A = this chain, B = another copy of it.
Amino acid sequence: MKEFKVIEGGVCAAQGFRASGVYCGIKENPTKKNDIAMIVSDVVCNAAGVYTQNKVKGAPVVVTKKNLEKSGGKAKAVIVNSKNANTCNADGEEKADEMCRLTAEALGIKQEEVIVASTGVIGQVLPIEPIKAAVPELVKKLSYEGNVEAATAIMTTDTVKKEYAVEVTLGGKLCRIGGMAKGSGMIHPNMATTLNFITTDAAISSEMVKKALSEIVKVTYNCLSVDGDQSTNDTCVLMANGLAENPEITAEGADFDEFKAALYQVMANLTKMLAKDGEGATKLLTCVCSGAPDLDTAIIVAKSVIRSPLFKCAMFGSDANWGRILCAVGYAEADFDINKVAVDLSSRAGSIHVCENGAGVDFSEETAKTVLTEDEITISVDLNAGDVSATAWGCDLTYDYVKINGDYRS
């Protein structure tokens, strides 16, 4: 696959995007880490979002959908807080609307051009006063180098910020695509994702923004599982402001394919970062399902392996318990012949072939231990039933996952 040049700048890598992040005190926090962020484009963007399929939807999800419908897929700003998901609250939508109103007023733009998102504890009333006080400060601090302040403001149990950006040439013009994301628990996106904000200065129509986003989400964020719990606030937004002045992409073709390839690189790398920083994780697990008859089968099988708690624990223990991989392949809801399946485990330390035709083969336990003691493990599952592949990302299940989630609210 083509590799695009990786650049700095995250959500500000594309021209004309400013960002900021501050601490406003949504929840008392002695370390005063940033808890609210803003992203603003100099000009109106074509924008699209994909959202959680959970019946419980955070109020910001409902409001963002409403705004993008009202504006006809146009957006100019994002306001996003952490520490409180503004979900399952009787006054949730009112508060999310108020966040948009405050942002629009401060920036002198239309309320429906604001995208709002929240992440944190579910079912606690969102205090609006600290946000009200923070908006002018966020506007004042907006900067073309504000990406790090913004990326740190959306962190919850994340231990590192997640940013990624690339350059891509479209119609002879150099364009940029960048983004930021947050993890790191309640991660099992389905036709949606955790919080992700992608910006680009490429010129691309609203319709094609939407198409590119949904195609690439399917093979990136939707192939990610930290714990099998699908969040109520999953939101992924792509904003394109056109400042790179390439000929606008309005239909399928070479430019659209190139744009999608670059978008894939950004989103796949953010997905990997989310998996690697999954709550309590010590290892990034990448499952590549090949030899599938179709893409859906490949995705379902790869995700089933990545989700299995027993397999995740085995990886934490560097134990080549491949029977658990085959078990998870076997209960994946897809149609294929289990007796043709082959499995390999690999890392930078080497690889072992553990299963052929659905049955075990001899391997060296010593080599297995060496391979699995690494912190990035690839599980290759070949269905031998076609030529389609998909990749899913996850992490091991550790004591720290239990620790973090045994008392998250406090």
Contact = CB atoms under 8 A, between A and B. Distances in A.
A124 interface: yes
A109 interface: no
Interface in A297-345: 307-311, 313-314, 316-317, 319, 321-324, 326-332, 336, 338
Contact of A122 (B307, B308, B327, B402): B327
A319 B90 CA distance: 22
Nearest to A359: B90
A406 B319 CA distance: 7
Contacts of A316: 402, 406
Contacts of A90: 357, 359
A231 interface: yes
Interface in A212-250: 227-232
Contacts of A313: 401-402, 404-406, 408
Interface in A107-144: 121-125
A252 interface: no
A71 interface: no
A121 to B, nearest CB: 6
Interface residues of A, number: 65
Interface string A353-372: 00101111000000000000
A31 interface: no
Contact of A324 (B53, B122, B399): B122
A407 B368 CA distance: 13
Contacts of A307: 228
A9 interface: no
B359 A53 contact: no
Interface stretch (A11-19, A81-89, A263-271, A386-394): A81-89
Given A56-B338, A405-B314, A122 B190 contact: no
Contacts of A190: 331
13 contacts: A56-B331, A88-B360, A89-B359, A121-B321, A122-B324, A122-B327, A124-B360, A228-B309, A313-B408, A314-B405, A316-B406, A317-B406, A397-B402
Contacts of A336: 55
Given A323-B85, A327-B229, A330-B232, A186 B310 contact: yes
Nearest to A310: B229
Interface in A171-219: 185-186, 190
Contacts of A326: 56, 88, 122-123, 232
Interface of A: 53-57, 85, 87-90, 121-125, 185-186, 190, 227-232, 307-311, 313-314, 316-317, 319, 321-324, 326-332, 336, 338, 355, 357-360, 397-399, 401-410
Given A56-B327, A185-B310, A228-B308, 5 more contacts: A54-B330, A54-B331, A90-B357, A228-B228, A230-B327
A404 B311 CA distance: 12
A90 B410 CA distance: 52
Contacts of A232: 323, 326-327, 330
A407 B331 CA distance: 22
Nearest to A311: B229
B405 A310 contact: yes
Contacts of A358: 56, 88
